[in-house]
Copies of this chain bind each other. A is one copy, B any other.
Amino acid sequence: MAFRSHDHDGCSGAVLRRAEALATTKGVRLTPVRQRTLEILLRAHRAVGAYEVLEELARDGFGNQPPVAYRALDFLVELGLAHRIRRLNAFTACMHPGREHQPVFFICRTCDAIAEAQAEPIRSAAETAASGLGFVIERMNIEALGLCPACAGISE
């Protein structure tokens, strides 16, 4: 799952089903706003700003004030169904929900495409550095900015 096109509806459906299962397992509720928010992220298949999400939610009859979007997004991030891309002040649906994972994001500075890759080696490298300092890692975000294959091809 990276910089290639694929079947959005297919991946959305699978993730949504898993999201529901995950919520049940954790004893939290995947309410309509929350589910719709996840759908919005899945369909966009790129990083989406909170206010952009909010617009869509409002169009669907949900509240139209920022907290509506932020709460739903925070819920999804907390549950591991979405990630926050700090560099872009935006959110994106997680492509491997459920599984424990440490993502790294590759962000194209030209076309804003995003790829989420697994980063197990990165995690362990960071873990090593942290333990040397006596630091306990709880969360980590790793974001790389650069050029995706398509844009790198053009600019070179």
Question: For the complex, is A26 an interface residue (Cβ under 8 Å from B)?
Answer: no
Q: How many positions in chain A have a CB within 8 Å of any CB in the partner chain? A: 38
Shortest beta-carbon distance from A42 to chain B in Å: 21
Q: Given the known A-B contacts A87-B86, A104-B129, A142-B142, are A136 and B152 also in contact in the complex, defined by CB atoms under 8 Å?
A: yes
Q: Given the known A-B contacts A86-B86, A87-B141, are A125 and B121 also in contact in the complex, defined by CB atoms under 8 Å?
A: yes
Shortest beta-carbon distance from A142 to chain B in Å: 5
Closest to A140 in B: B144
Q: How many chain copies? A: 2
Please state if A128 and B135 are interface contacts (CB–CB under 8 Å).
no
Please state if B146 and A137 are interface contacts (CB–CB under 8 Å).
yes
Please state if B145 and A140 are interface contacts (CB–CB under 8 Å).
yes
Please state if B3 and A135 are interface contacts (CB–CB under 8 Å).
yes
Closest to A151 in B: B136
Cα-based distance from A104 to B122 in the complex (angstroms) = 11
